[in-house]
Structure 1
Amino acid sequence: MKLNIAISSSIGNARALEIKQGEYNKYITFYSAFGFFNSKFGAKSEYEIELNPSCSEIFFYKGDGEFKLVLQKDETTKEWRLIK
């Protein structure tokens, strides 16, 4: 799956991500770019992540030890949808 990061997070632009695999999901933490707030030095806007067939949910780290469900696979169509 290709993730396109279109907007800056509260920590600025993303330069890297860390992925932890759960049984049926992935937990993704983004790391800020180098330099001052909202710097684009070292930032990337596109990330390729591997998904195993059993993966059905993707969570993004939102801070304070909590993750938020962001993407969920529809079990009927097998397509991913954004959770708002």
Structure 2
Amino acid sequence: MKKRIIAVIVILAVLVALFFIGTGFQKRMDVVLVDYSVSEDGTEITLDVGIPTSTGYIRGFKDNGGGVKPHYLTFFSTFGGINSPIGAEHSFQLEPTSDDTEIYFNRPEGGYELILVKDEETGQWLRPSGIGEENNTIFEATILEIRDN
């Protein structure tokens, strides 16, 4: 009887551990670009990202572009469960080369959405027309609401 109880406890502990670790490998497909900045020499872009829902956090990203242009970024949930802040970050650095031209974020159904594009004439990184404006409005409204309270 004692062996069965120990076996059940071990199985439950393994299942709980798998759940907490496994959630950290789930892809986040609802990540939005809140803000970004480019270093003066253009060798680093800081991406400030968020999610438009109240559930979940982001822990990191993987560049599926293989380190060459364009950059296809896939973001991942944090470890520890659906709404766990363990390892959560909102600011990430990307090191583009001088010939990089586009940055994409992953989306549902295996697709990617263009988030930033490099202007060929000026060399500046810009949001494509119409992209991100809706998301910025959501975040600005949330920030204003928090400040009012």
Normalising by structure 2, what TM-score? 0.50
Separation of aligned partners in 1, 2:52 and 2:76: 10
- Corresponding residue number in structure 2 for 1:53: 98
Q: How far has the Cα of 1:71 moved from its partner?
A: 0.5
Structure 1: runs of 5 or more not aligned = none
Q: 1:75 pairs with 90, 102, 120, which one?
A: 120
Q: 1:66 pairs with 85, 108, 111, which one?
A: 111
Q: Which has the higher strand share?
A: 1
Separation of aligned partners in 2, 1:20 and 1:51: 13
Separation of aligned partners in 2, 1:31 and 1:9: 15
Please list every run of at least 4 consecutive aligned residues from structure 1 whose deviation after the TM superposition is greater than 4 angstroms: none
Larger Rg: 2
Amino acid across the alignment from 2:61: L
Percent identity of paired positions between Structure 1 and Structure 2: 31
Separation of aligned partners in 2, 1:43 and 1:58: 22
Q: Which has the higher helix share?
A: 2
Separation of aligned partners in 2, 1:21 and 1:51: 11
**Greater relative contact order structure (CA < 8 Å, 6+ sep):** 1
1:14 aligns to 2:53 (yes or no): no
Normalising by structure 1, what TM-score? 0.83
Residues 8 and 38 in structure 1, CA contact (< 8 A), matched pair in contact too: no
Q: How far has the Cα of 1:9 moved from its partner?
A: 5.5
Counterparts in 2 of 1:14-53, with a 5 A limit? Answer: 14-21=58-65, 23-53=68-98
